[in-house]
Structure 1
């Protein structure tokens, strides 16, 4: 069975472009986004890592670290970072780990445990290594996404999802469809309308089970 929401994210130690990295220690008190790809020097992934490079300041504002996972070596990552920076117009200032052993890919169920990946493997061999995990400071999985090879990830949506995770962390709120920061949030059914008004201000009762309040962030 794959990782589920609220599972503890598997810890690991791996070589990276920022040196040896112990995942849980590296997260510290931050949120983390772990995102993987099947091969260096591939077109879709270059655009994706370029998008992350451009968004690093936004992740930093949100107390969030980003970590790339690749089935290639650190040496290849270092070379590839030049292409990413040239394409994105921004340096790839985040670590990318070496997962040539597939230890992380298997720990996070990105591949079947018995996957056959021969020497000289191509992106097609590691096609399912294309996932996103948002992990909280408590080291628990908060959100997962998996994409096919032909669909580039929307990192604006990943940033929006991170905002929603952080906005609802430890408070009785949920976010409606297409929510963005600043919009109203949904008051949990565990909180009465009266208590909600006392704690969060006016409660807009749209339906008996759908009540919204102003976002407190």
Structure 2
């Protein structure tokens, strides 16, 4: 199933290390960072799970709930989490979906046959409180994710929603943003009384603070 930006993220029920799990109900009014892994007890996955746990405070202050997945059982997750906590010096508290039958991985197109027929690639879905997919990224099994980039794109999406702006290449919080061409100067003057720099009629930048 091909999932596109703007689609409603499909709902599902399964289990995690905490017990029965219903996706949309669990997500509630939060953003979701949904990310998949090839397998428990593997090196790259262990570092990624650990990094997500270490960043719990950063996700929480952005109203984001992390949600992991690998094609293993909940019992295997519990044993693996002990290893993650020990080797990564953390305390993993977010749910990891048990998906031994590949049902969720197939629903979200996480099985790429040229990588593996039975293990998920490293997919990322950023999902907003309306349950819409706002961003997708896919990494091969051998490459760990950049968590600074994951936090950056969440900041960019949330800032864009709040202020009706776009963000330029390499944008980070505090840097200038772009006024979209769809907002004409008269409306822009009301939305951005601080003014803007106009490099071209289609390229206007402004500060938010």
Same fold? TM cut 0.5: yes
Does the alignment pair 1:205 with 2:195?
A: no
Mapped contact 2:121–2:141 kept (Cα < 8 A):
no
Mapped contact 1:127–1:149 kept (Cα < 8 A):
no
Cα offsets for 1:127-175 (capped at 9, x unmatched): 5432000000000100000001111111111111111111112642111
Structure 2: 5+ residue stretches without partners: none
Structure 1: 5+ residue stretches without partners: 116-122
Q: Which residue in 2 is equivalent to 1:118? A: none
Q: CA deviation at 1:89?
A: 1.4
Q: Which residue in 1 is equivalent to 2:208? A: 215
Q: How does 1:1-217 map to 2 (within 5 A)?
A: 2-111=2-111, 124-169=116-161, 171-200=163-192, 201-215=194-208
Q: State the 4+ residue runs in structure 1 displaced beyond 2 angstroms.
A: 123-129
Distance 1:46 1:10 in 2: 27
Q: How many residues align?
A: 207
Q: Secondary structure at the match of 1:57?
A: helix
Mapped contact 1:34–1:134 kept (Cα < 8 A):
yes
Mapped contact 2:195–2:206 kept (Cα < 8 A):
yes
User: TM-score of the superposition, structure 2-length normalised?
Assistant: 0.93
Q: Cα distance 1:47–1:89, how it changes in 2: closer, same or farther (>3 A)?
A: same
CA RMSD of aligned residues (A): 1.6
